[in-house]
Amino acid sequence: MIYSSIGYYSLIFGLTISFPIFFFSIRNFKNEETLDYKIITFSFLQLFLVVLSFLGLIFSFIYSDFSNETVFNNSHTTKPLFYKISGTWGNHEGSLLLWLLVLTLFIFLFLIKSKYLLKKYRILTVLFQQTIIIGFFVFLIKSSNPFNYIFPIPDEGLGLNPILQDPALAIHPPVLYLGYVGSSIIFSSVLAATTLNYISRTWAMHIKKWVLISWVFLTLGILLGSIWAYYELGWGGFWFWDPVENVSLMPWLALTTLLHCISVLEKRSILSSWTIILSITTFTLSMCGTFLVRSGILNSVHTFANDPERGLFILTFLFVLIFIALFIFFVFHKSDNKSSDSFFLLSKETSILINNWFMMYFLSVVLIGTVYPIFLDVISSQKISVGPPFYHKLIIPFLIPFLIFMALGPQLKWIKSGIEKKLHLVVLFIISLLISFFIVKNLEINFLVNTVLIGSAFYLFFMTIRDFFLKGFKNIHQNLAHFGFSLLILSILFNNIFSKELIINLKVGESFKNERFKISFNDLKRFEKKNYISFKGNFSIIENEIEDELEPELRVYNQPNIITSEADIKTTLFTDKFITMNSVQNEKYFNIRYQVKPFMFWIWISVLLISLGGLISLFKKKYEK
């Protein structure tokens, strides 16, 4: 009770703090030379109130205060403490409060960290960010209040969906949100800079930090979501092209492109239009993601709420922001005329520009695949769903030139490079193709595409390894990220090509044998746990004379009453053995699904390497010129 009230009133006070911030910012904008300290003080106060409100919700969850509707809907007294806390952001209301928390946190950090920049620019950024913050405050209080009171007070809550009770998923939303919401600072800042015609190298150096922060968090957030899908959903895949996954991938693509544009802007003062448009796009896509997930317009595992009123609010707010951004871009932005004629064909910026276009292509594919079903439904009432084949067909062929440019780009110099002493590039490419040829030769897959695709992935792989030795710590961040990417593509390809799968029905004591494996179902045990009953099967699998014991599990949760299937996965350096079991209705038989998935471990490692590249870039000293 008391925690909900504290939370609710802090939220209201937090909103009212926006008015003094607006007032002092506008007054300060015209008058003094330096930034009025009151703006920082009030921003801090607002942050403090939102933190208080968030703590209020966390404590309501910890003490299982079921007079709070959000707690009632998403928690239960028998739930472990860790999931009570993570339940705070595992639902619509709480996760929006988290959005707001990150929004206020980031603008406060921005104010502290931007001391040496133009005063007017800092104030305008605050104003744009406050517009977004007010929007979210109003949205929270009006249509998604996390502190709604219910009467009569229920004795027990409805519980958190058991498939969401997973450590990776508990920290997935906060990490992802840091990435999503981090793009709001980029958005506000780019609007401020455009208005003041302040898009410059100094600005690029400063905003690059924020781009990197959002990018690292977004990458890690997507990784955590993938790991969760792999371990918990029990389908043995890590990426399903589910609309909600796409919605996190789209800002990532835009942000990655933006990161490269900012580097060019920082070094060469060109590509400013690209930078502005991409900054706007990234945030718009993040907001659009929120809209698509929260409005119930899409249906997926992530859908929290089917509430058109909420959808309408976000939609309107989103388009208001888009139109403000467009207006500012067209009125204030003066495109740099020199950009068109200062590109030399063989230069770093050209290769970045080419890959930008590829990235934009990938982005459009994902965007169309996600949004097109909605358009079709509205226009012709046809319902379709777009699955993996669509994305694979459209994306895979274009990965080939993309990978090659990614390998070549870093070898070129800024402004202009020659083609002398570039023989090794060709030699390496031929070696990569040969290796790929010997791998693909004996397999029954599409020969040409796979040889070239794996070849170009190897090419990037070898190029980056060569650079580790030749260049050492120079540009290590970029090299590491590119190396990670080549490793990612290789792991995904090999994972796809060498995966094996077996689906059978077995009962206790039976075994199954084919030319490759022997699977025996030895035992089934029952355990009582705090909030579920577990049935653990014991299987032994013999493959190539190596025996493994695997113990998949069925969990029958009591609140809400849901059965989940926990995969047992034996991870080794090069393959994962993945087994799940499911009950067949009213029979002694269990449906067993056994998969051998090579290189899974390397998929996770490579994404970690990619984000590590970002982290190093964030913390590196400015020793480069």
Partner 1 sequence: MRNSIIYFLIVIFFIFVFVIFYKGLSNSNLYTPTTNKKSIPEFVSETLIKKKSLNSKDIFNQKKFYLLNIWASWCVPCKDEHPFLINLSKNKKIEIIGLNYKDNLNNAEKFINELGNPYSTILLDKEGIKAIEWGAFGVPETFLIYENKIIKRYIGPLNLQLVDEIKNYIK
Residues 578, 582, 586, CA angle at the centre, nearest 5°? 160
Rounded-to-integer distance, Cα 300 and Cα 260, Å: 32
Q: Which residues pair with 160 in a beta bridge?
A: none
Shortest Cβ 445–partner 1 spacing (Å): 39
Contact call for residue 295 and partner 1 (CB under 8 A): yes
Single out the residue of 82, 323, 357, 473 in contact with partner 1 (rule: CB under 8 A). 323
Closest by CA to 438, choosing from 447, 449, 428, is 447
Closest by CA to 490, choosing from 600, 611, 623, 409, is 600
Single out the residue of 297, 480, 481, 592 in contact with partner 1 (rule: CB under 8 A). 297
Q: Which window, 163-171, 289-297, 384-392, 482-490, contacts partner 1 (CB under 8 A)?
A: 289-297
Shortest Cβ 159–partner 1 spacing (Å): 9
CA gyration radius, the chain = 26
Interacting positions 125-154 with partner 1 (CB under 8 A): 152-154
Rounded-to-integer distance, Cα 60 and Cα 54, Å: 10
Helices H, strands E: what count in the chain? 17, 10
43 CB-side CA count, 13 A: 27
State both tokens at 116.
Answer: 């040496």
State both tokens at 406.
Answer: 């990614």
Query: Which residues contact residue 519 at a Cβ distance below 8 angstroms, ignoring those fewer than 6 apart?
Result: 502, 504, 506, 511, 512, 513, 539, 540, 541, 592, 594
Shortest Cβ 379–partner 1 spacing (Å): 8
Task: For residue 34, give Cα distances in angstroms to 114, 117, 503, 571.
Answer: 12, 11, 69, 58
Rounded-to-integer distance, Cα 419 and Cα 459, Å: 19
Single out the residue of 80, 308, 388, 472 in contact with partner 1 (rule: CB under 8 A). 308
State both tokens at 117.
Answer: 């920049």
Contact call for residue 360 and partner 1 (CB under 8 A): no
Shortest Cβ 121–partner 1 spacing (Å): 25
Rounded-to-integer distance, Cα 528 and Cα 555, Å: 10
Q: Is the Cβ of residue 320 or residue 584 nearer to partner 1 in the bound state?
A: 320
Q: Is the Cβ of residue 298 or residue 603 nearer to partner 1 in the bound state?
A: 298
Shortest Cβ 571–partner 1 spacing (Å): 36
Q: Which window, 186-194, 305-313, 391-399, 458-466, contacts partner 1 (CB under 8 A)?
A: 305-313
Q: Is the Cβ of residue 300 or residue 417 nearer to partner 1 in the bound state?
A: 300
Contact call for residue 417 and partner 1 (CB under 8 A): no
**What 8-state DSSP symbol labels residue 68?**
B
Shortest Cβ 153–partner 1 spacing (Å): 7
Interacting positions 152-211 with partner 1 (CB under 8 A): 152-156, 158
Contact call for residue 291 and partner 1 (CB under 8 A): yes
State both tokens at 432.
Answer: 């990569």
Q: Is the Cβ of residue 381 or residue 514 nearer to partner 1 in the bound state?
A: 381
Q: Is the Cβ of residue 23 or residue 319 nearer to partner 1 in the bound state?
A: 319
Shortest Cβ 599–partner 1 spacing (Å): 39
Burial profile 386-420: b = 16 or more Cβ within 10 angstroms, e = fewer: beeeebeebbeeebbebbbbbbbbbebeeeebeee
Q: Is the Cβ of residue 109 or residue 324 nearer to partner 1 in the bound state?
A: 324
Rounded-to-integer distance, Cα 549 and Cα 537, Å: 10
Q: Which window, 212-220, 348-356, 490-498, 552-560, contacts partner 1 (CB under 8 A)?
A: 552-560
Contact call for residue 384 and partner 1 (CB under 8 A): no
Q: Is the Cβ of residue 325 or residue 452 nearer to partner 1 in the bound state?
A: 325
Q: Which window, 193-201, 208-216, 306-314, 567-575, contacts partner 1 (CB under 8 A)?
A: 306-314
Q: Is the Cβ of residue 377 or residue 501 nearer to partner 1 in the bound state?
A: 377
CB 276 within 8 A of CB 254: no
Q: Is the Cβ of residue 32 or residue 377 nearer to partner 1 in the bound state?
A: 377
Single out the residue of 16, 41, 202, 306 in contact with partner 1 (rule: CB under 8 A). 306
CB 45 within 8 A of CB 10: no
Shortest Cβ 75–partner 1 spacing (Å): 13
**What 8-state DSSP symbol labels residue 594?**
E
Q: Is the Cβ of residue 71 or residue 222 nearer to partner 1 in the bound state?
A: 71
Longest CA span, the chain: 84
Shortest Cβ 296–partner 1 spacing (Å): 5
State both tokens at 457.
Answer: 């992935």
Single out the residue of 30, 337, 341, 379 in contact with partner 1 (rule: CB under 8 A). 379
Q: Which window, 166-174, 214-222, 317-325, 531-539, contacts partner 1 (CB under 8 A)?
A: 317-325
Q: Is the Cβ of residue 375 or residue 527 nearer to partner 1 in the bound state?
A: 375
590-598/575-583 β-pairing: antiparallel
Shortest Cβ 243–partner 1 spacing (Å): 13
Contact call for residue 1 and partner 1 (CB under 8 A): no
Rounded-to-integer distance, Cα 385 and Cα 601, Å: 30
Shortest Cβ 315–partner 1 spacing (Å): 5
Interacting positions 558-587 with partner 1 (CB under 8 A): 558-561
Q: How many residues bind partner 1 (CB under 8 A)?
A: 29
Q: Which residues pair with 304 in a beta bridge?
A: none
Q: Is the Cβ of residue 330 or residue 438 nearer to partner 1 in the bound state?
A: 330
Rounded-to-integer distance, Cα 601 and Cα 573, Å: 7
- Residue 444: is it exposed, middle or buried by C-beta count within 10 angstroms (0-12/13-18/19+)? exposed
Q: Is the Cβ of residue 319 or residue 398 nearer to partner 1 in the bound state?
A: 319
Other CB atoms closer than 10 Å to residue 201's CB: what's the count? 12
Other CB atoms closer than 10 Å to residue 18's CB: what's the count? 18
Shortest Cβ 286–partner 1 spacing (Å): 16
- Asked if residue 152 has a cis previous peptide bond (ω within 30° of 0), the answer is yes
Q: Is the Cβ of residue 154 or residue 509 nearer to partner 1 in the bound state?
A: 154
Instruction: Tell me the backbone φ, ψ of residue 340, rounded to 5 degrees.
Output: -70, -40
Contact residues for partner 1, defined by CB under 8 A: 152-156, 158, 291, 295-297, 306, 308, 311-312, 315, 319, 322-323, 326, 330, 374-375, 377-379, 558-561
